[in-house]
Structure 1
Amino acid sequence: MLIKGGGEIVRAVLIVEDEKIIEHKELQKDEDVVIGKKKKELSPKQLKIANEKQAIKRHCSQLGGFVHMLCVRNELLFNSLNIDRADISRLIYLATYIDYNNRKENLLIVRKKGQKNTPMTRENMQELLKLADKQFKAFLKNMKNNNLIWKVGEKYYISNVYFTKGKTGFDTKEYTRLFVDTTRYLYEHVATRQHKILGYVFQLVPYCHYELNVICKNPLEVDPARIEKLSLMEICKMLGISTDKGNMVKFRNSLSNFVVKVKGTRYYLFAHNTVRAGEIRDYFIINPLIVWAGSDENKTRDIIETLYFS
């Protein structure tokens, strides 16, 4: 592959080993194998950034890709809307079926084996959500009343105010990634009666630290030592759940029922850990295999390996 450099025609190649860029060099005249090209030699910092981007790309691909979900930091998800908690989890599940924003933006689509993407019908939607007629009608009415789902002709769309697939054009810290395969697995493997509890978890996403997924008061804090973790009582107060000790323990325990499976390994959705520095204090983390806004794949891998393997 020919490129111009310093006024001369040169041949350049990126040397890749184990999917990591380790060297950038010019080829000799008699060398024929060309892998890639760069107009200038990469610095160690540039190589590091390139490798990090590749690692995140691989990570996202392994989880079926992702949809961007808008997060107004330090505000419960959809808190300003009058929608049922169970419907939150249903809407988020459906959002994994939207088309890319450079094609048919936010059109709900389905893909059957051996066929191209086709617009999702009302029947498709009800079947995917696993809802009885009465529940489904109430859900769809709730979504339409809040302009979250609307119908044009025979096609259904989800609001691009909250979800988008593809380039956002906004500060990435305003969004989190909603991973397709794990979000779908999570919803598809719980009973209808658990949709409300799942909705509580999704409402906490805007309080997830953008890199570490710890539920905290300052999710954009860069220094991990300064993260102000939220306690179980603070979380329950925020969600409007009774702070009676027995009820809080019951709520916490109910969150351990949610699991996802990736490459045959089961992981918990919600983890709780304990800090013993002067006082015993619990804190909570949402599994970054489901939602994650970070840029350091090594950190998310450490979290997963430390807290979620089961």
Structure 2
Amino acid sequence: MGEYAIVDTETGEEVGEINSGDVIISVHERQRRVRMKKEREEHEINRYRGKGERYIFVNTTFDFSDLSPSTVTKLIYLSTYAAYDNLLILNAKSKKEIKRSDLPKILGVSKRTSERFWNSVKAYYIREDEETGKLWLNDEIFKRGKLKSKTAIDYQQFYFNGVRSLYKSANGKNHNYLGYLFQLIPFINREWNVVCENPFEADLDNVQLVTMKDFCDYIGYKDTSSISKLKKIYDGLEFDVNGKKQRFCALTYTGLDSGTARICINPEVFYVGSNKGRVDVLKLFFKE
């Protein structure tokens, strides 16, 4: 038996029970949540922000925890060379296939570093055709074009131009730090582009933000006394947007404790929500 009874005020009949700690949701609120969920699921995720803008979807149920952060960065960057069938090509016009021998030049790394990268991603993340040498992305993780509405909520949308510009401007030494944020893809809120504990929550008032201290715990950054140094590194991760420099992420906090900073991600790099207007105001925080 519950601690409290629910009684129909018209008939006096007991129609249910409530236990201590139960959350009561009004009919109006329940309808609102169902409506928002339906909007997210039925939202067609096959859109372009402008003519010629290309993107790829990344499955957020994969956190890439088996890869080093710098390897994740290289993999996300390489995914921007995927055709609609997930074949890696140099560009859409020539459709020239990418081979393993092309990786050092494309990734901007030495042959030795390229081989280490390949050994980490081969077979599972990228498949090589033994006969032709063609490279294919795992379509369980990466997809181009339309998504089925029932599974669309599991994906984040990465824009080619933003990712490529960010990769090149970050240079090798900062790819590790960029990879840490890419590994947090499962924690990025679909509607609001902030790092949080409940990424599928659409109600802004209920979003539980992750702090820089939480982030440091996740990535194993031990020197919490130097969080301000980490903040400086992320402030320096910039890329080009229409000829202007923008930051990849913004750290916002009040007072002097940078450990309480919250993390926002620039929607010019990726966004998969149902209403891009919701995050337009964030652009103010990414300007140089």
| TM-score category of the 2 structures, normalised to the smaller one | 0.7 to 0.9
Q: Relative to 1, partners in 2 of residues 1:298 and 1:66: Cα closer, same or farther, differing over 3 Å?
A: same
Q: Matches of 2:243 and 2:231 in 1, distance apart? A: 26
Cα deviation for residue 84 of structure 1 reads 1.6
Conserved in 2, the CA contact under 8 Å of 1:63 and 1:182?
no
The alpha-carbon deviation at position 130 of structure 1 amounts to 0.6
- Which residue of the other structure, out of 222, 230, 251, is the alignment partner of 1:272? 251
3-state SS of 2:190 partner: coil
Q: Does 1:294 align with 2:273?
A: yes
Residue 275 of structure 1: CA displacement?
A: 5.0
C-alpha distance in 2 between matches for 1:281 and 1:297: 27
SS in 1 for 2:135: strand
- The C-alpha deviation readout for 1:252-308, integer Å capped at 9, x for no partner, is 2211111111111211001011258xxx9421111111111111121222211x211
Residue 87 of structure 1, CA deviation:
0.5
Equivalent of residue 148 in structure 1, options 125, 147, 152 = 125
Aligned residues: 240
Equivalence map 1:216-227=2 (5 Å)? 216-227=196-207
Q: CA deviation at 1:89?
A: 0.2
Amino acid at match of 2:191: E
Q: TM-score, normalised by structure 1?
A: 0.72
Distance 1:78 1:122, change over 3 A: same
Conserved 8 A contact 1:215-1:285? yes
Supply the AA of the counterpart residue of 2:236.
N
- TM-score, length-normalised on structure 2? 0.77
Q: Which residue of 1 aligns with 2:82?
A: 98
Q: Decide whether aligned partners of structure 1 residues 190 and 240 sit closer, same or farther in structure 2, where only a CA change above 3 A counts.
A: same
Residue segments in structure 1 that go unaligned for 5+ positions in a row: 1-48
Cα distance, 1:201–1:62 mapped onto 2, change above 3 Å: farther
Offset, 1:120: 0.9
Taking structure 1 as reference, are residues 181 and 300 closer, same or farther at Cα in structure 2, changes over 3 Å only?
Answer: same
User: What are structure 2's unaligned runs of at least 5 residues?
Assistant: 1-38
Q: Does structure 1 conserve the Cα–Cα contact (< 8 Å) formed by 2:170 and 2:238?
A: no
Q: 1:281 to 1:131 in 2, by over 3 A?
A: closer
Q: Secondary structure at the match of 1:271?
A: strand
Shift in Å at residue 58 of structure 1? Answer: 4.7
Runs of at least 4 residues of structure 1 off by over 3 A?
none
The one-letter code sitting in structure 2 at the alignment partner of 1:78 is F
Give the structure 2 partner of residue 116 of structure 1.
94
Determine the structure 1 residue equivalent to 2:20. none
Does residue 70 of the first structure (1) align with residue 67 of the second (2)? no
Shift of 1:63: 7.5
Structure 1 residues 107 and 256: alpha-carbon distance in aligned structure 2, compared to 1, 3 A threshold: same
Deviations 1:31-55 (A, max 9, x none): xxxxxxxxxxxxxxxxxx9xxx89x
Identity rate of aligned residues, in percent?
22
Larger relative strand fraction:
1
Q: Which residue of 2 aligns with 1:159?
A: 138
Residues 118-152 of structure 1: CA deviation (Å, up to 9, x unaligned) = 2112233221101101111111111116x111210
Task: Please give the secondary structure, in 2, of the residue aligned with 1:293.
Answer: coil
> Residues 213 and 224 of structure 2 are in contact (CA less than 8 Å); yes or no, is this contact kept in structure 1?
no
Residue 137 of structure 1 corresponds to 115
Distance in 1, matches of 2:112 and 2:260, equals 43
Cα distance in structure 2, aligned partners of 1:109 and 1:58: 21
Map 1:1-310 to 2 at 5 A: 57-59=47-49, 61=50, 64-72=53-61, 77-79=63-65, 81=66, 83-100=67-84, 105-111=85-91, 115-144=93-122, 147-152=124-129, 153-169=132-148, 170-246=150-226, 248-274=227-253, 281-304=260-283, 306-310=284-288
